[in-house]
Structure 1
Amino acid sequence: MSVRWSILVIPVDEPGAKPWLEQSPDQVCKTASVGKLLLLAEVARRIDTGELTADHRVTKDGARFVRDSGLWRVLDQADLTVVDACRLVGAVSDNLATNVLLDLVGLDAVAAYGDSTGAGAMELLDYVRGEARDLSIPGTPPTLSRASAASLVAYVRRLYDGAVSPRVEEWMSLSTDLSMVASAFAEDPLAHNTIGDEGHPALINKTGTDDGIRADVGLVRRSGRAVAYAAIANWPTDESAPGLAAVMDRMHRIGAEIRDRLAQG
């Protein structure tokens, strides 16, 4: 099976630390929902600066409706605070909440935020669509988001250093998808946002899943250490199911190596 990997694992609590793992860290790949991190950061920035209030209400009425990941689409509640919408994105990668938040701030603003970080190739290119992308239509982005492992780790490093609002860390700590790299840390997917080292959650992450795409980016705090990781796999969608099993197996092994090295101190 032909899989393109972009991987980087590196301590962020130690200036000049060498990577624990890396493979083509600068290779740009499709990352599915991982690009929503840029949207969350832009919303958080606006709340922190007072451009937007945390209790501002947004509605799903008239929004681009998507059936895939998320809960809001099946809830009776038509409107939410902007912070609750962000919590849904962090917890279940809520597609409807994503589109509502994009209606609020705009794709151009998210792109400008991404450019301002200097993190490198990390982009949210589009709204979440409920239908296949018709690339024959001019201007249609080829994918929802794309990034390299290096750019994702740079984003996590900025979060660790405080250059990205701590609100994003809170929202990421709610993630219920611990199926990839994060599976190694034996956390409860539904209740793991407890406070660990230095008053921060012990594990935060964001995943991206689509046909031929698996991606996981996160920050693990254990034993006084803080390690950022990003692992992205892209492969042809005509490959058979055993290909996905091999990708997930490697994701688990990456997580296990991080866990074991942290245990060694």
Structure 2
Amino acid sequence: MGSSLPPFPEPVDGAPSATVRRSQRSGRRLPRRAAIGRRSFVATLKALEELADAGAQVSVHVVDLDTHHHVLSGDDHVTLPIAGLGIVPLLIEVAAGFEDGSLDPLEIVERSAIDQVATAGIWRHLRAPALPLTDLAVLAATAGDPIAVNALLQRVGHDRVRARIEDLGLARTAILDRFRDDRGPDDAPHVAVGTSRELAGLFSALVNSAVVDAAVSAQVSEWLSLNQDLSLVAAPTGLDPFAHDHDQHGLLFINKTGRDRGVRAEAGVLAGPRSGVAYAMIVCFDDLSIAHRLRAHDVFRLLGVELMEYTH
């Protein structure tokens, strides 16, 4: 089912780097190893440290696309819930099916035949009772539409997605279940889980045409370039959420976010005139108030600011 991702490059000696550790386990403050200056991640590290001290689980990985320097990492090996971010391997399997002919992009799927989700999504508001698979892939990538995702997952099947994930070498990433309005005791606890290291590596491989083949990588990257959720890491870029695939200032940006109660996750690629990075961040927190939620969101936006400084 295609080749595995190339081994993720090890950090290069002398790279500007920053590392965080989970403080709620050790009781110690998170060490800061970022170089002081324009290309450091001091603000992000401080915010992650404060979240971890407050009991949140945080995971982050940023790698330079050109040098393969791991410029920021922290608990990037820990498997955490990632909500809708976990559908990226599903999109890869769908694109691979289109490419090898095992799936027809124009195959029509009836909405009434799909497990419904009434609390989110766009398709439930549309008059169209049926859509082709290729349009469902666009809905899934651009809006995280849960019914579209459920339709793709039902058509492709968990076994094929699981095999694709294994083939890509993602040992700690999995799609556990479909989207549901209510998750009961007999259901999987989360839609998907993963690590920031694997997810950053996956996005790096996508833009380097190393996921399955060049055609599949290009198709999935194109879908993700249309994503309209630019409210987290992408907020400081100033990109238009509805038209950012051809930015006039030369920014290359693709991403996918994941949101659930107490979960915020995002992975993507940001490239500017000086350099490019692949990144992933996961924050799991007690969603006790809007203030708790906004505090988690602020960390993603701080990362976005410092990624912009790094790439410009």
Quote the Cα distance in structure 2 between the aligned partners of 1:123 and 1:197.
36
Is 1:126–1:144's contact at 8 Å kept on the other side of the alignment? Answer: yes
* Structure 2 portions without partners, runs of 5+: 1-53
Task: Map 1:72-221; keep pairs closer than 5 Å.
Answer: 72-131=123-182, 133-135=183-185, 137=186, 140-164=187-211, 165=216, 166-194=218-246, 202-221=252-271
- The alpha carbon displacement at 1:54 in A equals 1.9
Quote the Cα distance in structure 2 between the aligned partners of 1:73 and 1:232.
28
The structure number with the bigger radius of gyration is: 2
- Report whether the alignment pairs 1:234 with 2:281: no
- The alpha carbon displacement at 1:259 in A equals 0.2
Is 2:82–2:263's contact at 8 Å kept on the other side of the alignment? Answer: yes
Corresponding residue pairs, total: 254
Is 1:31–1:145's contact at 8 Å kept on the other side of the alignment? Answer: yes
The 10-residue stretch of structure 1 (202-211 or 111-120) with the greater mean CA deviation from structure 2: 111-120
Is 2:239–2:247's contact at 8 Å kept on the other side of the alignment? Answer: no
The 10-residue stretch of structure 1 (181-190 or 53-62) with the greater mean CA deviation from structure 2: 53-62
Task: Map 1:30-49; keep pairs closer than 5 Å.
Answer: 30-49=81-100
Quote the Cα distance in structure 2 between the aligned partners of 1:99 and 1:229.
26
Partner of 1:12: 65
Quote the Cα distance in structure 2 between the aligned partners of 1:63 and 1:50.
23
- The alpha carbon displacement at 1:99 in A equals 0.7
SS at match of 1:34: helix
Q: Output one character per residue of 1:64-97: Cα deviation in whole Å (capped at 9) or x when no partner.
A: 1102332111111112121111000111000010
- The alpha carbon displacement at 1:195 in A equals 6.4
Q: Output one character per residue of 1:206-239: Cα deviation in whole Å (capped at 9) or x when no partner.
A: 00111100011101121163210101000134x3
Partner of 2:307: 258
User: What is the TM-score when the length of structure 1 is the normalising length?
Assistant: 0.91
SS at match of 2:286: coil
Quote the Cα distance in structure 2 between the aligned partners of 1:111 and 1:196.
39
Is 1:119–1:154's contact at 8 Å kept on the other side of the alignment? Answer: no
Is 2:82–2:193's contact at 8 Å kept on the other side of the alignment? Answer: yes
Runs of 4+ more than 6 Å apart: 195-198
> Which amino acid in the other structure matches residue 212 of structure 1?
G
Partner of 2:114: 63
Quote the Cα distance in structure 2 between the aligned partners of 1:13 and 1:55.
38
- The alpha carbon displacement at 1:53 in A equals 2.2
Quote the Cα distance in structure 1 between the aligned partners of 2:210 and 2:108.
26
Quote the Cα distance in structure 2 between the aligned partners of 1:196 and 1:11.
23
- The alpha carbon displacement at 1:202 in A equals 1.2
Q: Output one character per residue of 1:87-113: Cα deviation in whole Å (capped at 9) or x when no partner.
A: 001110000101111111011211111
SS at match of 1:181: coil
Quote the Cα distance in structure 2 between the aligned partners of 1:54 and 1:222.
33
User: What is the TM-score when the length of structure 2 is the normalising length?
Assistant: 0.78
SS at match of 1:61: helix
Is 2:98–2:104's contact at 8 Å kept on the other side of the alignment? Answer: yes
Q: Output one character per residue of 1:235-254: Cα deviation in whole Å (capped at 9) or x when no partner.
A: 134x3332212111111111
> Which amino acid in the other structure matches residue 65 of structure 2?
V
- The alpha carbon displacement at 1:40 in A equals 0.5
- The alpha carbon displacement at 1:196 in A equals 7.7
Is 1:44–1:168's contact at 8 Å kept on the other side of the alignment? Answer: yes
